Structure 1
């Protein structure tokens, strides 16, 4: 890749990240009882099943103390519950509640609707091509992160 193309891509990624807060504000989910960052923990919990906070922190590439604070919000809102870890009874795992499942569906539907509005004028084949390339890009970034022993979770954008 040419340096000019890489620079342009880097600028577009920064632009995309800057829009993230505004985009999240446009999601029509109603009040789910927790901050957006905490709500984003529900999706990996739902797809991967109950897990310890440390495992969730690893998946989210975040500091465990930050994840613990967010988990507390989910539990208080009734979107997640703590349960005994069957492997180690002294530890607990976090699991999604029925209300948490409903929240996940509301988040997904809102995200799909908003993206659908943004891509409304795109032909289906361009959406498919972009999705394929974006998935490949994300996989490349994840592979790079996994191979860099100096990258701490807080340094990963």
Structure 2
């Protein structure tokens, strides 16, 4: 039986010597990164008590900022209120956030992370860090650190363009 010949993998559309070749590579690699997120992303754990992606991101933001209203979440994420209402309602049902009066006396109620939310967020973050650790386990420490620095710079520039900075530890 004849074996089919392997078709060479095509690179991104840009020519290798074009000034935007590196940018085309970034686009291609970020597309693949989103595809490979199953290796470390929280949705892998959803069936096992893990958080879905939106809950993971929202809980992280609430943890870093403190209690937040729908309006504050809308500003922070650039999402419409109806989307955030659906997401936060699911999170309340899951027991990972609770609605509380504004601690600063404002009219809008705010969402605060619960002990269960803290526990599940910590478990998912540990899962993610362990998964990423397996991916880069053979990299020199300096490369891991440089990659983290470049990812932070990349994200900060996205945040700058969107006008939505993300708090960092």
**TM-score, L = length of structure 2:** 0.76
Shift of 1:8: 1.3
Candidates 79, 91, 110, aligned match of 1:93: 110
Give the aligned partner of residue 49 of structure 1.
Answer: 66
Look up the SS of the partner of 2:163 in the other structure: helix
Runs of 4+ in 1 over 3 A off after TM superposition: 20-23, 25-29
2: distance between equivalents of 1:21 and 1:58? 29
Candidates 53, 64, 69, aligned match of 1:36: 53
> Highest CA radius of gyration, 1 or 2?
2
Give the aligned partner of residue 155 of structure 2.
Answer: 138
Q: Number of paired residues?
A: 145
1: distance between equivalents of 2:47 and 2:141? 26
1: distance between equivalents of 2:106 and 2:124? 32
In structure 2, the gaps of 5 or more residues are 1-17, 165-169
Shift of 1:23: 4.3
Look up the SS of the partner of 1:10 in the other structure: helix
Aligned residues of 1:29 and 1:107 also touching (Cα < 8 A): no
Shift of 1:21: 5.1
2: distance between equivalents of 1:128 and 1:75? 37
**TM-score, L = length of structure 1:** 0.81
Look up the SS of the partner of 2:48 in the other structure: coil
Q: Cα deviations across residues 54-93 of structure 1 (Å, max 9, x unaligned)? A: 212322332221111110111111111001124323x200
Shift of 1:124: 0.4
